[in-house]
Chain A
């Protein structure tokens, strides 16, 4: 949003930042916005301040997309996630600029975060047709039965995104939910929401079906409790829930027995190193949004 000298001759066309729901880019139904600033305090944009009703719309879109996404073959889901990486690579410069502004990073450091975000899509894409092989089992029960256990997606996941790492943190939490076959309603970083909207533009032009990822910007104090209390959300990723809201969010989540994926004990969001592959590439983050199904079948002539 940096202004040029009008005398230079050309006035930039600024982007309106909107929500991403069901594959479309609506404004918030509430008509509210909040000012988003760069790390150095420069105002960047008026972001949508999504409401409880926007959460409701996003959940509806997610639920409608859930069956189709879960029903894709694992390989197909993997290819679609990989495609997101391909498209991000093509818009790398824009992401680097977005992340540098939002997080106050040098171009070099922002570039490293964007590169890692792209590679992280690839890493999780590769899990699509492997997670069942690693987490599933055939179980040698003591009787004439063929018994096996397979993972299935949990369903609709509410993701309260990391607050500090606007893009890499979000991708690192979103990709594992998607690759397992769940769909997502995301509350972005509150203070640094713009890279997530650029990601939404990538998702919208990738092969990810509309509704599989829905992205809301706004105040976490409004969005996180609304997501936690929504009966049609099956699990909540509480990584980015502010400490002060944690108990309230988890209490609400218990009402329909949501699975709650907490930030690991002793890990502070602001200090977590998302560039550390060993820390941020974890199959158990996929497992957090999987249900295990065990099947018994008799053996006999």
Chain B
């Protein structure tokens, strides 16, 4: 009975985990009321142009494409579909701004522009968060608490470097490379924009950025921020359009540097595209991270870390901990804990403040995930999905966990980029290292143990650019991020992130 005397409505949902004081497998005796964030703060215009030379312009042939709300499949806006002539115009605007204004500006003043941008992003943070969740499908609590604050923090951090480059590169003159073409993915649209634009501008470069076709809206709102900050025209140019426009920018003769975040297959095309030229390149590509849990780990913390590692942002994260390597002695109980925890994950409306897993970004991505999960079952792995309801419309996928996975299975080798965890086991640290490194990727890894010396021993043998110890998916503008092997090269964030945007000359 509740306090007002009404009978508790029988819970038709999943059973609760053991150890909650409810009795083993007893029903969770509560429901969540809807807690939607208001959409009103994000004003979506019916039509958006390109942002070139500080002005919004239509594409030269007037063509457009549609961005869709992945949680409702409803169209959100019409976007200008850039032509190669538009891309050329953007590069020209960037070149002009680099040689006439931005490149000549005193570094102290460059810094102040970037601080302004950081401040405006902070001031308009909720607007950005709501728009990001609408356009990308990610839960509002993630866009609000992770994507947008980190994006502002990146501008903040690199603003301070703009007039301190001599301390980042002692004894050398750090000069801008010139015009930078930047191509970013749809999983963290604004954050990837910040990772790209902030260090490039701090070092005195100008940029032409192409956002992903399914998530262009926050980039175009960022264009408005540039205007609000009175950033000189042409310093930041944003062109929306298909992948061919990105490739056109990559191969454009007046582009000095290319920065790309996305799939390894496209990364290879880009690396080939600049072969034989003097263009600089950084690539942040795919991953298949191992999250390694030893028997002495704090298991409840490790459960949270593993869950966060793979289901954060629907698993659409290049550094997602998509392979769990759990020590055999604790595999049974640990998997039980994971399954119990999965029951409490809330899948649904990205704008609901209680949602843990939102919408998959696009139909194409949903189909890819579906196909790989089917392959997992076909190859003999054992699937587990919590029995939660999914919305009737929109691109949703149940959080999924596979056991009995072999290292040769596709779900253990290919980047799924979805909420799908493959569980493998190991007996010794050597075996864990062997399995963790047995992939062409090398972006990130996780280690869970209470023994510090073991963490560091694992760290020294893992072939990954970021290793999280007793935590996962932590990001900070001061902390370099990037991969080994086919996960790419170059680092974003920290002092090392500046390196990608300067040419070092003798004093």
Residue B157 lies at the interface, judged by CB distance under 8 Å to chain A: yes
Residue of B nearest to A146 (CB): B456
| Residues of chain A lying within 8 A (CB to CB) of residue B153 | 75
Closest residue of chain B to A73 (Cβ to Cβ) is B476
Decide if B429 touches A75 in the complex (CB within 8 Å): no
Tell yes or no: A201 within 8 A of B by CB: no
Tell me, in angstroms, the Cα distance from A298 to B456 when the chains sit together.
Answer: 8
Residues of A within 8 A of B478 (CB): 74-75, 129-130, 133
Which of B156, B157, B168, B453 is within 8 Å of A297, CB to CB?
Answer: B453
Q: Which residue of B lies closest to A82 (CB)?
A: B115
Instruction: Answer yes or no: B14 CB below 8 A from chain A CBs.
Output: no
Q: Is the CB of B115 within 8 A of A122?
A: yes
Contact flag A299-B453 (CB < 8 Å), given A119-B108, A125-B160, A283-B167: yes
Interface string of B102-144 (1 = CB under 8 A from A): 0000001001100100000000000000000000000000000
Q: Is the CB of B160 within 8 A of A299?
A: no
The reply to whether A122 and B157 form a contact with Cβ atoms under 8 Å apart is no
Closest Cβ–Cβ distance, residue A115 to chain B (whole Å): 11
Chain A residues in 8 Å Cβ range of B157? 75, 129-130
Asked whether A20 is an interface residue with its Cβ less than 8 Å from the other chain, the reply is no
Whether B163 sits at the interface, judged by CB under 8 Å, is yes
Contact (Cβ within 8 A) A79 B457:
no
B10 interface contact, C-beta 8 A: no
Does A127 interact with chain B (Cβ within 8 Å)? yes
Using A126-B111, A129-B157, A133-B494 as known contacts, say yes or no to A297 and B452 having CB atoms under 8 A apart: yes
Cross-chain contact B495 with A126 (CB below 8 angstroms): no
**Interface set, chain B 430-463, CB cutoff 8 A to A:** 452-454, 456-457, 460
Query: Is B252 part of the contact surface with A, judged by Cβ < 8 Å?
Result: no
Contact pattern, B 475-497, Cβ under 8 Å of A = 1, otherwise 0: 00110000000000000001100
Contacts of A119 in B (CB 8 A): 108, 112
In the complex the two chains form, what is the Cα distance from A78 to B159 in whole Å? 11
A82 to B161, CA, bound (A): 14
Q: Pick the contact of B111 from A74, A122, A128, A298 — CB < 8 Å? A: A122
Question: What is the CB-to-nearest-CB distance from B501 to chain A, in angstroms, rounded to a whole number?
Answer: 16
Chain A residues within an 8 Å CB radius of B167: 130, 134, 283
Q: Does A41 sit within 8 A of B, measured CB to CB?
A: no
Q: Is A300 an interface residue when CB atoms closer than 8 A count as contact?
A: yes
Instruction: Indicate which residue in A126, A298, A300 contacts B160 across the interface (CB closer than 8 Å).
Output: A126
Assuming the contacts A119-B108, A122-B111, A122-B112, asked whether A301 and B454 have C-beta atoms less than 8 A apart, the reply is: yes
Residue numbers in A under 8 Å from B453 (CB-CB): 297-301
Say whether, besides A79-B156, A297-B453, A301-B457, A126 and B494 are in contact (CB < 8 Å): no
> Is the CB–CB distance between A126 and B161 below 8 Å?
yes
Q: Does A123 contact B (CB under 8 A)?
A: yes
Known: A130-B161, A299-B457. A123 touches B108 (CB 8 A): yes
CB pair A126–B456 under 8 Å, yes or no, is no
Q: Taking the complex as formed, is B164 at the interface, i.e. its CB lies under 8 A from any CB of chain A?
A: yes
Q: Could you count the A-B residue pairs with CB atoms below 8 Å apart for me: how many are there?
A: 69
Chain B binding surface SS class? helix
Q: Which residues of A contact B159 (CB under 8 A)?
A: 126
Task: Write the chain A residue with the least CB distance to B170.
Answer: A134
Residues of A within 8 A of B160 (CB): 78, 125-130
Distance of B448 from chain A, by nearest CB (Å): 15
**Count of interface residues, chain A, beta-carbon cutoff 8 Å:** 24
The CA-CA distance from A44 to B411 in the complex, in Å, is 78
Inter-chain contacts of A133 with B (CB < 8 A)? 478, 494-495
Chain A 99-138, CB-CB to B under 8 Å as 1, else 0, gives: 0000000000000000000010011011111100110000
Residues of B within 8 A of A82 (CB): 115
A150 CA to B428 CA, complexed, in Å: 34
Q: Is there an interface contact between B115 and A127, defined as CB atoms closer than 8 Å? A: no
If the complex has contacts A78-B156, A126-B111, are A300 and B454 also in contact, measured as CB distance less than 8 A? yes
Using known A-B contacts A122-B111, A122-B115, determine if residue A297 contacts B164 with beta carbons closer than 8 Å: no
List A residues 63-86 near B (Cβ within 8 Å). Answer: 74-75, 78-79, 82
A79-B156, A299-B453, A299-B456 known; A130-B111 Cβ under 8 A: no
Complex: A52 Cα to B353 Cα, angstroms: 56
**B507 CB → nearest A CB, Å:** 14
Q: With the chains together, A301 CA to B430 CA distance in Å?
A: 10
Do A299 and B460 form a contact, CB below 8 Å, given A79-B156, A130-B161? yes
- Cα A123 to Cα B115 in complex, Å, equals 11
Nearest-CB residue, chain A, relative to B458: A301
Q: From residue B297, how far is it (CB to closest CB) to chain A in Å?
A: 15
Instruction: For the complex, give the distance between the alpha carbons of A122 and B115 in Å.
Output: 9
Q: How far is the CA of A125 from the CA of B157 in the complex (A)?
A: 10
Q: Are B456 and A123 in contact (CB under 8 A)?
A: no
Do A126 and B163 have beta carbons less than 8 Å apart?
A: yes
Residue in B closest to A79 when the chains form the complex, CB atoms = B156
Separation in Å of the A292 CB from the closest CB of chain B? 17
Name the residue on A nearest B454 (C-beta): A301
Closest to B159 in A: A126
Chain A min CB distance to B121 (Å): 13
Assembly CA distance A258 to B153 (angstroms): 36
Q: Measured between C-beta atoms, what is the minimum distance from B259 to chain A in Å?
A: 21
Q: How far, in angstroms, from A78 to B164 measured CA to CA in the complex?
A: 15
Binary interface encoding of chain A residues 276-288 relative to chain B, with 1 for a CB under 8 A from any of its CBs, else 0 = 0100000100000
With CB as the reference atom, state the residue of chain B lying closest to A118.
B112
Cβ–Cβ < 8 Å partners of A298 in chain B: 452-453, 456
19 additional A-B residue pairs with CB within 8 Å, beyond A129-B160, A133-B478, A300-B457:
A75-B157, A75-B478, A79-B156, A122-B112, A126-B111, A126-B164, A127-B160, A127-B164, A129-B157, A129-B478, A130-B161, A130-B167, A130-B478, A130-B495, A133-B494, A134-B168, A134-B495, A283-B167, A298-B452
A interface residues, Cβ below 8 angstroms from B: 74-75, 78-79, 82, 119, 122-123, 125-130, 133-134, 146, 277, 283, 297-301
Closest 3 pairs (CB-CB, A-B)? A126-B160, A299-B456, A298-B453
Ordered by A's residue number, 19 sampled pairs between the chains whose C-beta atoms are within 8 Å are A74-B478, A75-B153, A75-B156, A75-B157, A78-B156, A122-B108, A122-B112, A123-B111, A123-B164, A126-B111, A126-B159, A126-B162, A126-B163, A127-B164, A130-B160, A134-B167, A297-B452, A299-B457, A300-B454
